[in-house]
Amino acid sequence: MLNARALDPAPAHVAIIMDGNRRWAALHGLPAVEGHRRGVTALRAAVRAAIDRGVARLTVYGFSTENWRRTPHEVDLIMQLCAASARSESAGLCAQGVRVEVIGDLDAFILPARAAVRDLVRATAQNSRLTLSLALNYSGRAEIVRAVQALARDVERGRLRAADVDEAALRSRMDAPGAPDPDLLIRTGGDFRISNFLLYQLAYTELMTLPVLWPDFDEVAFGQALDTFGERQRRFGA
């Protein structure tokens, strides 16, 4: 049941760095993949909580470009889990009115994972209750580079004057051009860094680091984070 603070306006856009799967598995004497599996359960809870609190967009850091540095065995298991989860979660997400989109370079994923995620995006395309944006093979720096390259091509081809390159032009060429900037970034696992996530979009986002490891994150933790956000006064640099 939601507490009294649930009546406060919710942030429109919440971003989450889902950190701590491997540490959770190690603490419980389990292989790393079990932490990732429990992480899917935590994401399911976060989606429910976001809907309950009236959040319109939830962006989660699912797989960074740096994650390719992990062992081939772990990466392969993550790819398998990604494909299986995309298939198994589709019906439930549709029932909740969740639309899924992807930011990042999904082309680098193995075919089964890539196909399953794209099928999930298509299956949920008409939903409108919550947008769940999955950052997969994502790098904030790479996203900015892609946008700048697109601007350069348009200038080179005469479609755009260099003098007309502004923030709006850059944003329109980023991975989710219509998305508002996150109001709140939650990082689980206790670390204090943004790890190459949404570097352009986080300029005035409220940052929150929680000690809880991602597999233990639940609706209560999400609600408490939103309650704390509601107590902050945002100044946007003023």
Q: Which of 19, 21, 175, 183 is catalytic?
A: 19
Q: Which of 52, 67, 196, 218 is catalytic?
A: 67
Residue partners of 177: CB distance under 8 A and separation at least 6: 171
The yes-or-no answer on residue 127 being catalytic is: no
| CA gap 83, 21 in Å, rounded | 18
Residue partners of 114: CB distance under 8 A and separation at least 6: 106, 107
The yes-or-no answer on residue 216 being catalytic is: no
Which residues carry out catalysis?
19, 67
